[in-house]
Structure 1
Amino acid sequence: MRYAIHFTPSPNDPLTHAAAAWLGRDVYSGQTVEPPAVSSLGMQEISYHTALPRRYGFHGAIKAPFRLMDDVGEAALLRSLMHFAGTHQPFTLPPFEIAKLGNLYGLVLSWPSEALNFLAASVVQEFDRYRAPLSDADIERADPDRLSATQLTNLHRWGHPYVMDEFRFQMILTGGVVPADCVRVERAVRGVFEPVLDRQVEFSNLALFVEDEPGAPFRVHSLHPMGRVSARKIA
């Protein structure tokens, strides 16, 4: 079993509903969702282009998937995450916008968020003590020859190359798209997501994702509200 700590909007958020339809799976319930009707792509094409993000679920990665240390149980991770979330205040994210990320499409923030960058670094540092060391196969899958010196250091120190100063928040919506399909795929992505991107989204929970067995789809195990501990102290 692997765990990950991510951001995903609340179950009732319009962005969650749009993503569930686009990806064909609700990340909370795990249930299959009928794809949206778009003019530029058929249902089978949408399913093909969303196969990879469908397995990982709609999320913005904070701490990438990891296995627990042998002497650590899930209950300890949950207690720690609940306490950690409660000591950090919610904040509002900058508006999302659709972007082409290499040969993928996804959502990114319109401008950087210092609050998010600080929280992401804090999560990586705090929960690294629960992470089992990477295997040689894990390191090879990260394609270390293509990483910069900083990214390679991050991989060995924190288990993932794109953390700390290398962290870039993004919510992936497609797998790799060949150039010939880019116009049609981007038109479909914009048609589905632009209607729900006209507002800012609150970052008010940390989501624990789980992969029950190798290759299984990730799902939201639990949401951990932010700010609860601080609010109790003030009260």
Structure 2
Amino acid sequence: MFTRYAIYYTPELGTPLADFGAGWLGWDSATGATCPHPDMGGLDVAAVTATPRKYGFHGTIKPPFRLAEGTTAQGLSDALATLCATACPVVLDGLELARLGRFLALVPVGDASALGTLAARCVQDLDAFRAPATAAELEKRRASRLNPAQDAHLQRWGYPYVLDQFRFHMTLTGRLGAEPFAHAEAALAQRLSTLDVSPHPITALTLLGEDADGRFHQIHRYELAG
């Protein structure tokens, strides 16, 4: 049914942050439904969110991957459930809007090392379910001018931004030019000013699958019960 799988942090369905993210991006991965974008006074929200829309509002924990030969989606689900049963929730000091190159995202406030440790555990402990990256996938990633550590992670784990190179973020736009960037930043700052995200607990991880159209859907959300 799904071409790839991923493990993300996604806000709980029905919370203000989840509602904001689904509306802003125009796709709710938890319900598998499109959402109307907010009216932001002339900003083409659909255009600035076109790239991240298909993933839904999330923070990557284990990046998208194809299942390895001999493994199953049920086996992956069971393994993630076992991991989450012994992993502890993480509390961030908060989330804040930040510029990451030419795109905008929510990033942690303060120390996020506990979240990095959780992400590293998912990347390493569940790696047996990941099919090796193809030559084309490796070449595409290397076009981003990776540093030596990132290239080593790409070869070993199929993705460059893991372990010591992991930086948690919740993407809000694609790469933008100067004018739409400034407009989107102002619009997001206004929208986010009404949300209470300090502190911000992360109490569950979500397994998602990518459909034939490239959109990600929630399969199950696992509470961190350690």
> TM class by shorter-chain length?
over 0.9
Number of aligned residues: 224
Aligned residue runs from structure 1 range 21-60, under 5 A: 21-41=23-43, 45-60=44-59
Instruction: In structure 2, give the amino acid aligned to 1:225.
Output: E
Q: 1:40 to 1:100 in 2, by over 3 A?
A: farther
Say if 2:173 is the partner of 1:171: no
Aligned residue runs from structure 1 range 149-168, under 5 A: 149-168=148-167
Q: Which residue of 2 aligns with 1:7?
A: 9
Gaps spanning 5+ residues in structure 1: where?
231-235
CA distance in 2, matches of 1:201, 1:92: 6
Q: 1:142 to 1:86 in 2, by over 3 A?
A: same
Q: Which residue of 2 aligns with 1:88?
A: 87
For the 8 Å contact 1:63–1:124, the answer to whether it is kept is yes
- Match of 2:19, SS? helix
For the 8 Å contact 1:96–1:197, the answer to whether it is kept is no
For the 8 Å contact 1:85–1:225, the answer to whether it is kept is yes
Deviations 1:103-134 (A, max 9, x none): 00010011232210110111110011110011
Instruction: In structure 2, give the amino acid aligned to 1:74.
Output: A
Say if 2:73 is the partner of 1:71: no
Q: CA RMSD in A?
A: 1.3
Instruction: In structure 1, give the amino acid aligned to 2:94.
Output: P
Going by fraction, where is helix more abundant, 1 or 2? 1
Percent identical pairs in the alignment equals 36
Going by fraction, where is strand more abundant, 1 or 2? 2
Shift of residue 156 of structure 1? 0.4
Instruction: In structure 2, give the amino acid aligned to 1:78.
Output: S
For the 8 Å contact 1:40–1:185, the answer to whether it is kept is no
**Residue 224 (structure 1) aligned to one of 198, 201, 222:** 222
Aligned residue runs from structure 1 range 105-116, under 5 A: 105-116=104-115
Instruction: In structure 1, give the amino acid aligned to 2:91.
Output: T
Q: Normalising by structure 1, report the TM-score.
A: 0.91
Gaps spanning 5+ residues in structure 2: where?
none
Instruction: In structure 1, give the amino acid aligned to 2:70.
Output: D
CA distance in 2, matches of 1:36, 1:145: 32
Shift of residue 188 of structure 1? 1.1
CA distance in 2, matches of 1:136, 1:23: 31
Q: Normalising by structure 2, report the TM-score.
A: 0.95
